[in-house]
Amino acid sequence: MAEEVKLFRTWSSPYALRIVWALKLKGIEYETIFEDLTNKSPSLLQYNPTHGKVPVLVRDGKPVCESLVILEYVDETWKHNPLLPQDPYEKSMARFWANFGDDKLMKSIWQLFIAHEKDQDVAAVAALENLKIVEEQLKGKKFFHGETIGYLDLAFGWIANLVSILEEIMSLKLVDGERFPHLSSWIQHFIDAPVIRDCWPPRDKMIIKFQVMRENYLAAATPK
Amino acid sequence: MAASDVKLLGARPSPFVNRVQFALNLKSIDHEFIPQNLAEKSELLLKSNPVHKKVPVLIHGDQPISESLVIVQYIDEVWSGPPSLLPSDPYDRATARFWAAYIDEKWFPLVRDLRNATDEQSKAAAVEKLFEGLKLLEDAFVNSSNGKGFFGGEKLGYLDIVLGCYLGWVRAGEIFTGLKILDETKTPALVGWAERFASHKAVDGVIPEPEELVNLIKMFQARAAAAAADASTK
């Protein structure tokens, strides 16, 4: 009996993309349900009542939420083409760095993105420091785990796409080849990887979306 | 394995450190606890956790592992004999990890908010939010425990450790504000669970007494007030 796998996502969510890539790497067939987060479907609210967010992976009617949790679930359920290292210490490092990516790196880049011009210099310091930390991790490696794409590449995948979009909107270069040669090289390899490259959301739509988001944040934060 | 092979850099009042202590105790792992002065961080701590410079850090052999949830999973995977901390089924593991993320990212910050609340209105608002979260955790407990005493079923498991480490601070928050957070009329299952958890032999003696934590809260608040006063007089 074929099992039923569904993925609730939006066209732009970088978190949902992690799961799209993971399922593709594992060769798993599934149904995609695109959500409009301003008008959430009853199914999404039923499957993720706590947060009402995407992505949600539903397998045989049972939902799994939170993208990093879903990645581990996918890896443990479909054991071929492993995403995480087998060695417990290496696995711990992978989990540690994924948390760093979401908790520190992404947040600091976002803070820079929504900063007023007068606050940009300070915000940039944190973002650049965090990027440098990731740069160190990529020394001597094609992908985070070596020669093939794995869990950390999927966890950091948003860098390869979103950063250049935010840079264009801010007119500010963050990840340049001189300061971040390893990160820049990783971006090139990741963006062009066969499993990855067909999944990117349309760039022009992304630019518009994030530009509007930035304007809203800046307007809301402006002292009256 | 010799006790010196496993070291835990920690500070007693930290619930994150306490989690690792529970896990080490449950697995009967000999280890050396090296208390850290967080106001003056040691070379060892800075070397072992250069990214965050925080406790807990588990040093196994010469390999440091940081982040309490990462450490607990590492312990479960390296010392893989019983008792298992995480369930074996991938879906149950995902559920446990989901709630762990919720507890750390959404629920415990509410306890912090309560700790920082200065007037009655903000205290009451903070407690209300805590209750909403506890209702979700009450349901999660009922689903996860399958009629047994712990999130892990008959035995203490991952989620027991993840939530249980906060019980000292929850009790301290109750004493400090005079408001009930774990209320048997609202979350009876969790109240029963909290009592069983606190008296478990792997837990007993790890979490500092609430009174000690109340003193820490008072100290935090005094420091925050002093800093605010300093800032406004400059």
Q: Which domains does chain B have, with CATH numbers?
A: 4-76 (3.40.30.10), 88-211 (1.20.1050.10)
d(CA B45, CA B9): 7
> Between vectors from CA A98 to CA B96 and to CA A60, what angle results, nearest 5°?
40
Tokens 């559920």 label which residue? B95
- The confidence score (pLDDT) of residue A1 equals 45
Minimal Cβ distance to A76: which of B60, B65, B90: B90
> What's the predicted TM-score (pTM) here?
0.95
Mean pLDDT of chain B: 93
Q: Identify the bridge partners of residue A59 per DSSP, sorted by sequence position.
A: A5, A62
Chain B contact probe: residue of A51, A69, A84 with most B CBs at under 10 A: A69
Which chain B residue is nearest to residue A61, measuring alpha carbons? Answer: B91
Two tokens at A172? Answer: 């500010």
Please check whether residue B17 is in contact with residue B67, taking contact to mean a CB–CB distance below 8 angstroms: no
Residue A172: phi, psi to the nearest 5? Answer: -145, 125
Shortest distance between the Cα of B97 and any Cα of chain A, in A, equals: 6
Q: Which helix (H) or strand (E) holds B75?
A: helix B68-78
Shortest distance between the Cα of A67 and any Cα of chain B, in A, equals: 10
CB contact under 8 A, A50 and B136: yes
Of the candidates A91, A129, A135, the one whose C-alpha atom is nearest the C-alpha of residue A107 is: A129
Model confidence pLDDT, tens digit, residues B83-108: 999 999 999 999 999 999 999 999 99
CB atoms within 10 A of CB A171: 6
d(CA A57, CA A51): 14
Contacts of B79 (CB under 8 A, 6+ apart): B27, B29
- The confidence score (pLDDT) of residue B115 equals 78
Confidence of residue B217 (pLDDT cuts 50, 70, 90): confident
Model confidence pLDDT, tens digit, residues A33-67: 999 999 999 999 999 999 999 999 999 999 999 99
CB contact under 8 A, A73 and B93: yes
Quick one: residue A29, left, alpha or beta (phi over 0 = left, psi -120 to 50 = alpha)?
beta
CB contact under 8 A, B94 and A69: yes
A224 and B CB contact within 8 Å: no
Model confidence pLDDT, tens digit, residues B152-196: 999 999 999 999 999 999 999 899 888 899 999 999 999 999 999
Model confidence pLDDT, tens digit, residues B122-152: 888 888 999 999 999 999 999 999 999 999 9
Number of residues that this document lists for chain A: 224
- The confidence score (pLDDT) of residue B234 equals 60
CA B73 to chain CA mean position, Å: 15
Mean pLDDT of chain A: 95
Number of residues that this document lists for chain B: 234
d(CA B174, CA B215): 13
Confidence of residue B112 (pLDDT cuts 50, 70, 90): confident
If you count residue pairs, one on A and one on B, with CB atoms under 8 Å apart, how many are there?
A: 55
Domains and CATH numbers, chain A: 5-77 (3.40.30.10), 88-215 (1.20.1050.10)
Name which residue leads in pLDDT, B60 or B3: B60
Two tokens at A144? Answer: 């985070």
CB contact under 8 A, B94 and A70: yes
Q: Which helix (H) or strand (E) holds A183?
A: helix A181-192
Of the candidates B203, B133, B126, the one whose C-alpha atom is nearest the C-alpha of residue B161 is: B203
Confidence of residue A224 (pLDDT cuts 50, 70, 90): low
Tokens 């307007």 label which residue? A219
Handedness of CA B5, B11, B17, B18 (dihedral sign): positive
Confidence of residue B3 (pLDDT cuts 50, 70, 90): low
Confidence of residue B120 (pLDDT cuts 50, 70, 90): confident
Contacts of A99 (CB under 8 A, 6+ apart): A68, B67, B70
Shortest distance between the Cα of A108 and any Cα of chain B, in A, equals: 14
d(CA A155, CA A143): 12
Q: Identify the bridge partners of residue A8 per DSSP, sorted by sequence position.
A: A33, A56
